[in-house]
A = this chain, B = another copy of it.
């Protein structure tokens, strides 16, 4: 057992009535540095599980109790040094792992990947393993939307879905659920559905990829977006009990909350309080918009999670969002590379890469996805990547790691925290040369080609300098104080 790994106990318990609602299972975990009380959950077949993430090394004692069983279980286990860096938290406008390592997010999105067949899920993991992404956004509930008309392999509740036959899967986006009824028991989870998600979250954890879990979303024909309040609450308690012990979990309260017609403004606040209260580790939590940004100044919001699509114009607001909210800004959606019909999914690799760099230069954390038309589309199903931008994100992340978090000092010009490194990103601008007045200070100047992934060291300079530039788009100049 290592620090920040998942400690799990599997216990038999009562099965009379409805074990999802009728019984509780609670655990107290303590060592000399911390003491936490956590909830367990029912996992079907008479099995209850309780998960705990230790944040310290050394011996832990635990006591498991609750109405699920007439017995109290106690025990202890040893925790040794960590393999990973631990869960991430926000430090002012930056992210940091628990061990102090800075985290620079290079995200992607596969909304419905956990609902796909096992083979496809495995391919997704394989693709991620060979990529440089360190965050993946995905939904818990299945997705109903263009290119997403096939049923998920399973459903999250016991019951039967609306009949799906006769839907033209790759047709116009005009499908409206008919009156055929979904028949769900929202008080009984399909535990197999969640065991699949357990595997997905754990696989991501092993790859050091943050699991940005989207709790609600509006793209639904099965009724999961309009459950009664008690069912929403039961679901959130189940989710926090089941997943809080994974160090890589982030809570995204919604995808496009402003399109979730069945939830009122107060509901979001209420559900946020619930998640925050039930998550013993204080995982990152935010909420993603379609058009209207959520009020990120709320106490429970740890970072901004933002979608911007019309052109890239609104990315320029990143510095003002940083200033306003004093929290990290994650741009999860700013159009995706691809060739599908919808404008949000058909920009070129060059344009995707340009926006990724732009977000970093402006002080934010960029997010990608890919929508090449075909049987499976990465943005929703996962599977394979066909584009060209993602191949260049490892290089972007390397530069992020070398330079650190940035704040803007001019248009498309940024500095790191102590001003020892300055980056100027040229984007669509292609000067034949640039000039700089360095004064007495001495700088190493490098010309970085974000597409070709080269760093051209031009040497050490002071005074007035003229640097000949490649006349191509997507160049960055890095100046390092010597």
Contacts and interface: CB of A to CB of B under 8 A. Distances in A.
Interface of A: 172, 310-314, 316, 335, 339-343, 346-348, 351, 373, 411-412, 426-435, 437, 464, 471, 473
A431 B316 contact: no
Contacts of A335: 429
B432 A343 contact: no
Contacts of A316: 310-311, 313
Contact of A347 (B310, B346, B429, B464): B429
Contacts of A339: 430-432, 471
B348 A428 contact: yes
A293 to B, nearest CB: 17
Given A348-B428, A351-B428, A341 B434 contact: yes
A310 B358 CA distance: 13
A437 B432 CA distance: 47
Contact of A433 (B341, B430, B434, B471): B341
Copies in the complex: 2
User: Chain A interface secondary structure, helix, strand, loop or mixed?
Assistant: loop
Nearest to A472: B348
Contacts of A429: 335, 343, 346-347
A445 to B, nearest CB: 15
In order of increasing CB-CB distance, the 8 nearest A-B pairs are A313-B313, A339-B432, A346-B429, A341-B431, A346-B431, A343-B429, A373-B432, A351-B428
Contacts of A314: 313
Contacts of A310: 316, 411
Question: Which of A312, A313, A316 counts the most B-chain CB atoms under 10 A from its CB?
Answer: A313
A35 B52 CA distance: 94
Given A348-B428, A348-B430, 7 more contacts: A172-B437, A310-B411, A340-B432, A341-B431, A341-B432, A347-B428, A373-B432
A456 B186 CA distance: 54
Contacts of A340: 431-432
Contacts of A427: 311
Contacts of A347: 428-430
Nearest to A354: B428
Nearest to A372: B432
A450 to B, nearest CB: 15
A106 B287 CA distance: 45
B341 A411 contact: no
A471 B428 CA distance: 20
Contacts of A346: 429-432
Nearest to A311: B313
Nearest to A313: B313
A322 to B, nearest CB: 18
Nearest to A174: B437
Question: Which of A172, A347, A351, A430 counts the most B-chain CB atoms under 10 A from its CB?
Answer: A430
